[in-house]
Amino acid sequence: SAVISQKPSRDICQRGTSLTIQCQVDSQVTMMFWYRQQPGQSLTLIATANQGSEATYESGFVIDKFPISRPNLTFSTLTVSNMSPEDSSIYLCSAASGTDHGYTFGSGTRLTVV
């Protein structure tokens, strides 16, 4: 299965700034996804990163706040823009090679906004 390198692993950011999280997959994958997870909670899907087209966002998430890039089949970035303390969370990227295969996850980015 694919291996995903995600960075940074953690960061502490000032409110009003932006942070870009990167995910690199060691093989070409069809689908990449971005999730957010609060401590003790389930994962919440932010968006699906589509190669060659705009990302598809879930309800409650907008492109201006969470712009996503997917320039090729092995790489994606998520930017958390104009951050506030409410954006403090763990952000995870994941990838799948098809609907009948499991997802692989990056190790996560623990973001703290102060």
* Positions that interact with another protein (CB under 8 A): 1, 31, 33, 35, 41-45, 48, 92, 96, 99-108
Q: How far is the CB of 52 from another protein (least distance, A)?
A: 15
Residue 58 vs 81, nearer CB to another protein: 58
Q: How far is the CB of 33 from another protein (least distance, A)?
A: 7
Residue 74 vs 94, nearer CB to another protein: 94
User: CB-based contacts of 112: which residues, under 8 Å, 6+ apart?
Assistant: 10, 11, 12, 13, 88
Residue 35 vs 66, nearer CB to another protein: 35
Burial of 34 (0-12, 13-18, 19+ CB in 10 A): buried
Rounded Cα distance between 22 and 74, Å, is 11
